[in-house]
Amino acid sequence: MRLPRDLSGHDLARALGTCGYEITRQTGSHLRLTTHMAGEHHVTIPAHASLRIGTLAAVLDEVARHLGMSRNALVEKLFGAH
């Protein structure tokens, strides 16, 4: 599945909330999200108006690896209804 374009950092944080991630802090223009599903895991994402595709792909790869799924399966879960 193709990665969504023009996704903001806050939109990504909201979408990752469906996988158990919560914003635990914001420092400058970056959000730190934490989950306790499948063990504690932290991921930092920029709070920019539009995330670059490479940045989005890297964050999704990291989250998918933690959750034990492929990036395509994660993208389908997060954005498949759009």
Give the tens place of pLDDT for each residue, 57-77.
999 999 999 999 999 999 999
32 exposure class (CB count in 10 Å sphere: 0-12, 13-18, 19+)? middle
Give the tens place of pLDDT for each residue, 9-19.
999 999 999 99
Distance (Å, whole) CA 1 – CA 13? 19
42 three-state secondary structure:
strand
Q: How far is CA 29 from CA 35, 46, 55, in A?
A: 20, 6, 14
Domain-by-domain residue ranges, the chain? 9-79
- pTM attached to this predicted model: 0.90
The predicted pLDDT at position 81 comes to 60
Please count the residues of the chain: 82
Distance (Å, whole) CA 57 – CA 80? 16
The CATH code of domain 9-79 reads 3.30.920.30
Task: Please choose, from the candidates 7, 38, 39, 12, the residue with its C-alpha nearest in 3D space to the C-alpha of residue 23.
Answer: 12
